[in-house]
Amino acid sequence: MKTLRYFARNPMSVLGVVILVAFVLIAVFAPVLAPPQEFQMTPYDTPRAGFTATPQPPSEEAIFGTTEGQYDIYYAVVWGTRTAFKIGLGVVAISVLVGTIVGAVAAYYGGMVDEVLMRTVDVFMAVPFLIAAMVLTALLGKGIVPVTIALATFGWMGYARIIRSEMLRIREMDYVHAARTYGASDLRLIALHIIPNAFFPVLVLATMATGSMVLSASALSFLGVGTEEGYADWGQFIAYSRNWIVGQPGNPFQYWYTLAFPGAAIFLFVLSWNLVGDTLRDILDPRHAH
């Protein structure tokens, strides 16, 4: 309740929640907002109005205009919302799961097991994230599944560290000792008493990571190893706009719509996650208590 009140009092976090809810609605009602047309293999294939390279400005048929290759920008922005949720939540879910298991095992067994697992974490942290994800995606092929796997492979370490340190802290607390004297099993202790108490810091990290993982995924698309050609994915549409930054002489902003709409979509999406995450972090941080 106190958490909710804090949220409601803070205009920035309210804004974050509002934008996030709007995106959820767009994702849910995508088939209504931008009905897929005939002959599409999947609804994520952006329809195109021809094959000419030059983008066309917003018009009756394409309200956000078309980008390079005549892909409909409005359609891609709407369906790209689903892509963003899938990748963001998918990567974070896998990372949290893997990180929790590794962190819990390391803290529980301690000693050699702990040492090996934590050095593995160090090694993964010493890998340049984006380049490593690029290599793995390039190996696995294009599409959102390879992208999700690649990002999760190099994104779980933070959770492992948090879970481990929280477990080490919590397991020495009186109520855990009490539960143990009652004869609770180790698994029960970990699952029911320790992990739930480590939940909040993980939640903050996960919220923040959702936004940044969507950023990384679209960066992969931008760098040319992400999703397939024409897939409804914001990063890919921003990549298309890159060739059209310079307009014709005398008209420098000629192709503004190729960047503005997908750019605004991803910016607002990441912003909303960051605003929510930032507020959660404040709530958690005792130094901000009044």
Partner 1 sequence: MLNYAFRRLLMLPVVMFALSLMIFALQMSLTPTQRLAAYAPSPDFLKGGQESIRALIEQYGLNDPFYIQYGRWIGNILTGNLGWSETARQPVGVALASLLPATIELVFLAFFPGLLLAIYLGSRAGIHLNRWPDHLIRVFTILGWSFPVYVFGLLMLLIFYSALDWFPPGRLSQWAQAVVSSPGFVRYTGANTVDALLNGNVAVFLDALRHLVAPVVTLIYVNLANMTRVMRTSMLETLRQDYVRTARAKGMPRRVVELHHARRNALLPVATIAGMELAYMMGGVVITETIFDYSGLGQFAAKSAANLDFPAILGFGLYFAVVLVVLNLLVDLIYPLLDPRVKTK
Task: Kindly state the smallest distance separating residue 12's Cβ from partner 1, in Å.
Answer: 7
**Minimum separation from the CB atom of position 191 to partner 1 (A):** 31
Q: How far is the CB of 135 from partner 1 (least distance, A)?
A: 5
d(CA 235, CA 192): 40
Smallest distance, partner 1 to C-beta of residue 265, A: 10
Smaller CB distance to partner 1: residue 119 or 188?
Answer: 119
Closest CB to partner 1 among 96 and 133? Answer: 133
167 vs 217, beta carbon nearer partner 1: 217
Residues 278, 14 contacting (CB under 8 angstroms): no
C-beta of residue 186 within 8 angstroms of C-beta of residue 108: yes
Tell me whether residue 74 or residue 234 sits nearer to partner 1 (CB atom): 234
Which is nearer to partner 1, 108 or 234 (by Cβ)?
234
**Which residue is it, tokens 């709409």?**
261
Q: How far apart are CA 70 and CA 75, in angstroms?
A: 12
* Min CB(105)–partner 1 separation in Å: 19
Of the pair 184, 223, the CB lying nearest partner 1 is at 223
Rank residues 100 and 258 by Cβ distance to partner 1 and give the closer one: 258
Residues forming contacts to partner 1 in the complex (CB under 8 A) are 12, 119-120, 122-123, 126-132, 134-136, 138-139, 211, 215, 218-219, 222-225, 235, 238, 241-242, 245-247, 252-253, 256, 259, 263, 266-267, 270-271, 274-275, 278, 285, 287-288
Output the smallest distance, CB 274 to partner 1, in A.
Answer: 5
Q: In the bound complex, what is the minimum distance in angstroms from residue 116's beta carbon to partner 1?
A: 11
